[in-house]
Every structure is written in C-alpha cells, then in structure tokens.
Amino acid sequence: MTVVARSALAAALYAAAVQAEPTPGVREWRFDVTADGVPIGTHSYVVREQGSRRFVQSDMHFRVRLLVVDAYHYEHHASEIWQDDCLTSFETTTEERGSSTNVSGHRDSDRFEIDGAAGKVFLPPCVMTFAYWNPRIVGQSHLVNAQTGAWTPVTSEKLDREEISVRGQLHTADHYRLRTEKNRIDLWYSTDGNEWLAMRTRTNSGHVLAYQLR
C-alpha cells in the first residue's frame, strides 16, 4: 500500500470510528506560537473523548518570513487513537524544508509497531507520544516522537508552582520540565491536573518556542 493510500485509509478509519459512536466530549487547545518572541504560527489539538477512547487531531503551522520571503516553513498533521492512556494507532505527515515525511504506527496484542523512515520499529504494547495535553506523559521514561517514529528517552522533574498569564488572567500552575538528549520542554498544567495551560521549549539550535493559549 502506498503512503498516500495508507494515509487516506487511516483518515477514513478515524472518521468512521468517530461517527460510529455517540457524540463525544470534545476538548480543544489552540496556541499562538512564537520563536524568540516573534510570532511564527499556530498549533492546535482537538481531543474527542468517547468513554475510555480518545481520538486526537494535531495541526501545526509554522512560517518564518525574511522580508517577503518564506525563510522557513513547517507543517505537521497527526491523527491518533488512544485507549485509556495507551496509544493504539497514529498517522503523521510532516513537511519541512521542501521534504515530506510520513510515519504511522499501531498496537498489536503484545507490541506497538511503527513504520517510519528508518523502517519498522517494535515497542512495548502501551506507549505514549509527546501528547502534551495529557499530564501523564511526565511520568514516562520514553515517548514516541510522532514525526520521526523514534523511541525517545525522557526525564522529567516537577518544579515550583507559578503564577502565569493565560488569556489575560493569572492562574496558579504546576510546572514540569521534560528533557530529551536535544531538547528541554517546560510545561504548565492547572493544579487539578486537568488542563494544559502553556509550553516553552528550547530547540537544539538554541531558539525558544513559546505556546500561548488563544
């Protein structure tokens, strides 16, 4: 099956699964994103909850302009299906610097299989992506990079609570820090653990990306 056919099939299965069950609860996060304080785009998540299942759509659009020329363009789209806190399948498409990458994965009975640029990778049956909307990622030792399919070691620590501005209002937030070999990712959640409020990450090139809820 070609990449295009596989992507079309995944989208069709996702839509059919959503339509086959009662209307789910929907949670949305829509962020404006800056790089070193300069607006570069948006990142949105839509999570449809149906009992213990979650259907997740993620869309990222970044564009850096130099005068009237697009100096950098990045698009990332992901569809994920979860059972409780275990990923059951995902499909991503990423366009960056003129090239396109497609990665997919699904869970079998005793393992999770990823098909990416490096070929097939087999992981434990219950895995999580960098699903920032779910605070439980901070308790994981590894997370799946959905853009590359890499099984990424992570460490995390809980920092002091902070007062942060969200949509013009101050909120007390729990502050966590995730570290990978290349990145440091700061995350803020509501103190009841139910709401993702903000994110800031330093890229391996030294730029700081900040997420601000719309």
> What pLDDT digit, counting tens, does each position of 133-160 carry?
999 999 999 999 999 999 999 999 999 9
Collapsed DSSP state (helix, strand, coil) of residue 138:
helix
Distance separating the N- and C-terminal Cα atoms of the chain: 39
Q: Give mean pLDDT, residues 66-84.
A: 82
- Provide the pLDDT confidence category of residue 23 given band limits of 50, 70 and 90: low
Domains with residue ranges and CATH for the chain: 3-213 (2.50.20)
94-98, 124-128, 158-162, 170-174, range with the lowest pLDDT:
94-98
Backbone phi, psi, residue 197, to 5°: -110, -35
* pLDDT tens sequence across 112-122: 999 987 789 99
Rounded CA gap, 52 and 200, in Å?
A: 29
User: Hey, what are 108's tokens?
Assistant: 């079998």
Rounded CA gap, 210 and 62, in Å?
A: 12
What's the pLDDT score for residue 64? 83
Rounded CA gap, 213 and 171, in Å?
A: 13
What's the pLDDT score for residue 5? 46
Backbone phi, psi, residue 179, to 5°: -130, 135
Most confident of 5-14, 30-39, 62-71: 30-39
What's the pLDDT score for residue 36? 92
Q: Give mean pLDDT, residues 87-110.
A: 93
Strands 151-153 and 196-202: unpaired
For residue 16, pLDDT beyond 50: no
Q: If you average pLDDT over every residue of the chain, what do you get?
A: 87
**Alpha carbon of residue 18 to chain centroid:** 20
Rounded CA gap, 60 and 77, in Å?
A: 6
For residue 21, pLDDT beyond 80: no
